[in-house]
């Protein structure tokens, strides 16, 4: 259920960003959309996202879809195919790095690696002004990427600790260089992220051995309560990451939300924030100019979202991020 106080808060944030400085309309935001080729991301884009963004004063400067080559499409191995898709996703993100905001519409959390790789290695032709890596004797230095991981689960397992055997329970550990090195290198994420560059938010369902790995890492945590009512805690972590890194990516698995908004998601966990509460937290995050990209993964759709409640929640989260970028002006 959406709390009235949270709704009022988000409505206020959205309203104040429409007008800037004495009634002057803010410059249009340049938005790039990148998406994987599965049905969930396609639904997010085609059911009204572009019109919604245009109504908020945004210009869609590019909208691109992951495409494997025929040879890649014939390759075997689900994990291998996932890595190849992430590699293409990363190239699209790298080419979009000059936009004010890049929005990733993602199949699942394994797409994390492509989003990070693209931000780490932007296309020089994209014209990004977010502290591009310095050119030295060894070439272009990769950008340092910070990660805000918003998920009911840490996805910090390795093949040695996993109980499920799911690749989808490992992407943060892979990104941190803790396992599956060849998989990470295929995606283009090199070097791996130091764990001090990672903030986990809303995580509340963690396997025992996974928790042990987290306890020995330098990952920082934001609780569900922080997301709901402590914008100063959220901003403090973003400021910390901005001091360490060149660019920050915010990743959301829809299962982080109150299960009432994602009833068709197979991995929900109780006591999640509402989409209105999380959208307000996203506004606080995206006020910082180092925060450059948002990813939305694992949207329930079709028969698993008959009333469109989850789709509306996803759009609400995107609204929150857009409001934060607009508030920078």
- The whole-number average pLDDT for the span 46-67 is 96
Burial of residue 80 (number of CB atoms within 10 Å: 0-12, 13-18, 19+): middle
The CATH number of the structural domain formed by 28-122+142-326 is 3.40.800.10
Judge whether residue 102 has pLDDT over 60: yes
Judge whether residue 128 has pLDDT over 60: no
Q: What is the per-residue DSSP string for 247-314?
A: EEEEEEEGGGS-GGG-TT-TT--SSPPPHHHHHHHHHHHHTSTTEEEEEEE----GGGGTTSHHHHHH
For the chain, helix (H) and strand (E) counts, in that order, are 13, 12
The pLDDT of residue 9: 46
3-state class (DSSP) for residue 180: coil
Q: What is the pLDDT of residues 278-296, one digit of tens each?
A: 999 999 999 999 999 999 9
The pLDDT of residue 133: 53
Judge whether residue 301 has pLDDT over 60: yes
Q: Would you state the structure tokens that stand for residue 34, as one six-digit string? A: 């990148």
The pLDDT of residue 26: 53
CA angle 176, 83, 169 (to 5 degrees): 55
Judge whether residue 157 has pLDDT over 90: yes
Cβ–Cβ < 8 Å for 275, 261: yes
Q: Pick 24 or 103 by higher pLDDT.
A: 103
How does residue 125 score in pLDDT terms, banded at 50, 70 and 90? Answer: confident
Q: Pick 197 or 15 by higher pLDDT.
A: 197
How does residue 8 score in pLDDT terms, banded at 50, 70 and 90? Answer: very low
Beta strands in the chain (DSSP E): 19-20, 24-25, 29-35, 58-65, 101-106, 135-136, 139-140, 145-150, 198-201, 220-222, 247-253, 291-297
| Global pTM value | 0.90
How does residue 329 score in pLDDT terms, banded at 50, 70 and 90? Answer: confident
Q: What percent of the chain has pLDDT over 70?
A: 88
The pLDDT of residue 137: 52
- The whole-number average pLDDT for the span 245-262 is 98
Cα–Cα distance for residue pair 221/208, rounded to 1 Å: 17
Cβ–Cβ < 8 Å for 171, 110: yes
Q: What is the pLDDT of residues 167-225, one digit of tens each?
A: 999 999 999 999 999 999 999 999 999 999 999 999 999 999 999 999 999 999 999 99
The pLDDT of residue 166: 96
Phi, psi dihedrals of residue 133, rounded to the nearest 5°: -60, 145
- The whole-number average pLDDT for the span 131-138 is 51
């Amino acid at each position: 259920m959406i709390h009235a106080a949270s709704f009022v808060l988000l409505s206020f944030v959205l309203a104040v960003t429409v007008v800037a400085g004495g009634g002057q309309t803010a410059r249009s935001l340049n938005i790039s959309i990148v998406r994987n080729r599965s049905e969930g991301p396609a639904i997010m884009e085609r059911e009204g996202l572009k019109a919604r963004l245009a109504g908020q004063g945004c210009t869609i400067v590019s909208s691109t879809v992951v495409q494997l080559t025929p040879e890649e499409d014939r390759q075997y191995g689900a994990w291998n195919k996932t890595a190849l898709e992430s590699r293409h996703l990363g190239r699209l993100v790298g080419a979009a790095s000059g936009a004010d905001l890049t929005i990733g519409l993602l199949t699942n959390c394994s797409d994390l690696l492509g989003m990070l790789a693209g931000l780490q290695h932007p296309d020089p032709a994209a014209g990004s002004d977010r502290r591009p890596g310095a050119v030295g004797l060894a070439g272009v230095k990769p950008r340092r990427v910070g990660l805000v991981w918003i998920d009911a689960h840490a996805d910090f397992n390795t093949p040695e600790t996993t109980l499920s055997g799911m690749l989808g329970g490992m992407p943060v550990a892979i990104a941190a260089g803790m396992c599956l090195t060849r998989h990470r290198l295929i995606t283009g994420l090199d070097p791996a992220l130091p764990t001090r560059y990672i903030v986990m938010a809303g995580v509340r369902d963690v396997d025992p051995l996974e928790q042990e790995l987290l306890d020995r890492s330098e990952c920082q945590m934001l609780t569900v309560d922080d997301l709901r009512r402590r914008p100063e805690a959220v901003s403090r972590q973003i400021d910390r990451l901005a001091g360490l890194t060149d660019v920050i990516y915010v990743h959301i698995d829809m299962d982080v939300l109150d299960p009432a908004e994602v009833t068709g998601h197979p991995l929900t966990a109780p006591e999640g924030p509402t989409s209105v509460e999380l959208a307000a937290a996203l506004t606080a995050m995206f006020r910082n100019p180092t925060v450059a990209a948002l990813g939305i993964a694992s949207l329930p759709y079709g028969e698993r979202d008959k009333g469109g409640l989850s789709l509306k929640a996803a759009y609400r989260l995107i609204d929150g991020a857009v409001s934060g970028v607009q508030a920078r002006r």
